[in-house]
Amino acid sequence: MGSADESSLETLIEYVLEKPKYNQINRGLIESIARTELAKGRKPKETRKAVLSKLHQVGTAYFSQKHEYGRWESTLASLPTDIHSTEVKDFCTDVMRAHYSTDERLPILEDLYQTILSTIQPIPSVLDLACGLNPLALPWMPVEEDVQYTGCDIFADMIEFLNTFGAHFGLQTEFRSCNLLNAHFDQHAKVAFLLKTIPCLEQVEKGFAERLLDAIPADYILISYPISSLSGKLKGMQENYTDQFAQLIAGFDWTYERFEFSTELAFLVKKS
Ligand SMILES: C[S@@+](CC[C@H](N)C(=O)[O-])C[C@H]1O[C@@H](n2cnc3c(N)ncnc32)[C@H](O)[C@@H]1O
């Protein structure tokens, strides 16, 4: 990139970061998308629109309700520190309703984690990639009491809330803002979650998922796909995603198991 292009890139990133709807998003992801859109050589107004639209598709579109981190943190402060108490589970359920991905998992929450994870217990460590609000499903996961749970997503305010959540229960949790398209992993985990995220990443960088799977430092990867789209239509997603997964995994010498739930299709891949 020349210096004129670099200055357009900076201007575009700053334009995005000035918008309250997008200003919590990881700068690295904004930059990746801005570079791709600038390279298409369209008019500045169209380029700006395309960047915002892509960020909406991969991130902000998933909020089914306005997130209320301040209110949630105040409620959290008054809750018991036993993560398995009914009050805490009710709170977690309420918060998970604010994100489509966890909201549509609520009816299958217990079944999904028990069915899949009980086959690989004990689970001392989890890496939750592009986690959204899924760490609030921890009370339903059959993991060790002192599990090391690390996770990342693109929203800084969500990450701050998740760190407050983990600290309240004295858990060994660590959440970071990240751009998975450019991530470096420094910690091995027994299982990594890549839940309903591959379609999102592939929207920005086609063919990226294969490299990511290869790089994830875990014995198992739990990969899932949504069975209904954000607009609620089914459109043969189950068959499409089963085919996509088969293609994705074809180049690896790994074994896997397939699990089907009413709102989610999951594959537990054994890497080692
Ligand atoms: C479909 S949601 C899934 C959320 C969560 N894994 C779950 O299943 O509940 C996709 C998530 O990917 C995150 N995301 C999108 N692009 C990302 C990127 N490049 N790096 C990290 N996270 C990303 C979004 O913010 C969103 O939380």
pLDDT tens for 44-94 read: 999 999 999 999 999 999 998 888 999 999 999 999 999 999 999 999 999
Domain count across the chain:
2
- Residue 146 alpha carbon to ligand 1 centre in Å: 25
Residue 234's pLDDT is 61
Domain co-membership, 30 together with 84: no
Contact by Cβ (8 Å): 154, 136: no
State which ligand 1 atom lies nearest to the alpha carbon of 193.
6
CA-nearest residue, atom 25 of ligand 1: 59
Domain co-membership, 133 together with 180: yes
Percent of the chain at pLDDT above 90? 89
Residue 230's pLDDT is 58
CA-nearest residue, atom 10 of ligand 1: 197
CA-nearest residue, atom 4 of ligand 1: 132
Domain co-membership, 231 together with 104: yes
Domain co-membership, 42 together with 172: no
Q: Does pLDDT of 232 surpass 60?
A: no
At residue 238 the predicted structure's pLDDT band, cuts being 50, 70 and 90, is: confident
- What distance lies between CA 88 and its chain's CA centroid? 22
Q: What is the pLDDT of residues 96-120, one digit of tens each?
A: 999 999 999 999 999 999 999 999 9
Question: How far, in Å, CA of 63 to CA of 55, rounded?
Answer: 13
- Which residues contact ligand 1 via a Cβ below 6 A? 29, 58-59, 62, 101-102, 130-132, 134, 153-154, 178-181, 195-197, 200-201
- Residue 175 alpha carbon to ligand 1 centre in Å: 13
Domain containing residue 265? 69-270
Q: Does pLDDT of 272 surpass 90?
A: no
| Residue 64 resides in a domain | no
Domain co-membership, 16 together with 138: no
Domain co-membership, 140 together with 178: yes
Domain co-membership, 87 together with 209: yes
Question: Among the listed ranges 1-5, 163-167, 235-239, which one has the minimum average pLDDT value?
Answer: 1-5
| Residue 63 resides in a domain | no
Q: Among 58, 84, 102, where does a domain finish?
A: 58
Question: How far, in Å, CA of 32 to CA of 55, rounded?
Answer: 11
Domain co-membership, 51 together with 77: no
State which ligand 1 atom lies nearest to the alpha carbon of 194.
6
Domain co-membership, 77 together with 53: no
Question: Among the listed ranges 4-18, 200-214, 230-244, which one has the minimum average pLDDT value?
Answer: 230-244
Burial class (CB within 10 angstroms; exposed 0-12, middle 13-18, buried 19+) of 202: middle
Long-range contacts of 35-40 (CB under 8 A, 24+ apart): 35/1, 35/9, 36/204, 37/12, 38/5, 38/8, 38/9, 38/12
* CB atoms closer than 10 angstroms to residue 44: 12
Domain co-membership, 20 together with 105: no
- Residue 119 alpha carbon to ligand 1 centre in Å: 25
CA-nearest residue, atom 12 of ligand 1: 130
Domain co-membership, 75 together with 110: yes
Domain co-membership, 220 together with 191: yes
Average pLDDT of span 109-133: 97
